[in-house]
């Protein structure tokens, strides 16, 4: 039997997983990592891969995040977003590990007009949101030692996301139309990864459901405008692009999005010591980072 490893990082090739892996490594925290080669829908695969390492922490960044496709691929989304986390929770319950599991603002219906807090009643309006909520509930039912962290509007340098899409569209088009009647807050992968690394290092036992995003709030339209403004300053975008606000009704999608999904960061800041950085500051840091590459 090998020495107990500190962290099992699942989904280490994804947008958030890669960022967390880099931060754990920088902090000198021992990690085993896996992606698609370990099927978390199969309890025996989990056991085979991780039992000899006996991780103290499991960080689950595996998720089905194709929101619109989930409306027709609900079974697949459910396996990844619900069955997989439930299996990980059962493994953690047997081995004494703690589980960190990112979830989503899509568990809410978006009818509220003040920031959602952790005790607000979920009411998902999409298959994606329902599968993520089911995953949360199955973790809670199985494992007391859980940190479920609901995040929103995630972006970073290692995967597909709104910011990367906007930069591509700004280079291809003279006019871009963006929804202006959905409010929320972006989440930059780097600051989230640093906070999660600090959580692991702290050994906290303040388990539960938490909300985390960057600070402030905005709309997709204003987010796009800020991406464009900073990208022009930095020389990432070199031409004029007209950004037009449109309504959700003018841009129909298979999955319904919450019109308002701002979440309060008070609990996670108070209980876990997470650092909250304003979304505009983080966006500039991200754009400077990718421009420097």
Query: Can you give the residue ranges of every domain in the chain?
Result: 7-161+187-216+262-277
Is it the case that residue 52 has pLDDT exceeding 60? yes
Give the pLDDT band (50/70/90) at residue 2.
very low
* pLDDT one-digit tens code per residue, 128-149: 999 999 999 999 999 999 999 9
The pLDDT of residue 1 is above 50: no
CATH class (in words) of the domain with range 7-161+187-216+262-277 = alpha beta
Task: Assess whether 286 carries a catalytic annotation.
Answer: no
Q: Which two tokens stand for residue 269?
A: 């800041």
Instruction: Look at the block and give the residue holding tokens 């420097």.
Output: 292
Spacing of C-alpha 154 from chain mean position: 5
Specify the residue for token string 């809410």. 108
Mean pLDDT of all residues belonging to the chain: 96
The residue annotated as part of the active site, out of 64, 106, 116, 128, is: 128
- Mean pLDDT over 152-166 rounds to 97
> What value does the mean pLDDT take over residues 14-20?
98
What is the structure's pLDDT at 131? 98
Q: What is the pLDDT of residue 106?
A: 98
> Tokens at residue 206, please?
């303040």
The owner of tokens 């989304």 is: 77
Question: Is 4 a residue whose pLDDT tops 90?
Answer: no
pTM of the model as a whole: 0.96
For residues 287 and 234, the answer to whether their CB atoms sit within 8 Å is yes
pLDDT tens-digit readout, 188-220: 999 999 999 999 999 999 999 999 999 999 999
Tens-digit pLDDT profile for residues 18-50: 999 999 999 999 999 999 999 999 999 999 999
Residue 51: its pLDDT value, please?
Answer: 87
Give me the pLDDT at residue 53, please.
Answer: 87
Identify the weakest region by mean pLDDT among 6-10, 48-52, 80-84, 171-175. Answer: 48-52
């Amino acid at each position: 039997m090998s020495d107990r490893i500190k962290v099992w990082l699942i989904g280490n090739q994804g947008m958030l997983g890669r960022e967390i892996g880099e931060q754990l490594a920088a902090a000198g925290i021992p990690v085993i990592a896996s992606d698609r080669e370990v099927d978390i829908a199969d309890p025996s695969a989990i056991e085979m891969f991780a039992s000899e390492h006996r991780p103290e922490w499991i960080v689950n960044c595996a998720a089905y995040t194709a929101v619109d496709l989930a409306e027709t691929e609900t079974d697949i989304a459910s396996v990844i977003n619900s069955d997989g986390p439930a299996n990980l929770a059962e493994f953690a319950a047997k081995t004494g590990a703690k589980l960190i599991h990112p979830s989503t603002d899509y568990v809410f219906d978006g009818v509220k007009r003040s920031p959602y807090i952790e005790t607000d009643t979920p009411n998902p309006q999409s298959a994606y949101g329902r599968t993520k909520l089911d995953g949360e509930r199955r973790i809670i039912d199985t494992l007391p030692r859980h940190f479920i962290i609901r995040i929103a509007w995630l972006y970073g340098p290692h995967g597909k996301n709104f910011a990367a899409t906007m930069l591509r569209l700004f280079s291809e088009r003279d006019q871009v139309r963006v929804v202006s009647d959905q409010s929320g807050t972006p989440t930059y992968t780097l600051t989230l990864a640093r906070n999660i690394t600090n959580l692991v290092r702290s050994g906290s036992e303040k388990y539960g459901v938490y909300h985390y995003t960057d600070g402030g709030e905005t709309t997709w339209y204003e987010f796009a405008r800020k991406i464009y403004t900073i990208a022009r300053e930095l020389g990432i975008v070199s031409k004029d692009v007209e950004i037009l606000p449109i309504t959700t009704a003018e841009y129909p999608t298979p999955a319904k999005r919450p019109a308002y999904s701002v979440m309060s960061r008070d609990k996670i800041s108070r209980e876990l010591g997470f650092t909250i950085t304003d979304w505009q500051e983080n966006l500039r840091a991200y754009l400077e980072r990718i421009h420097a590459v």
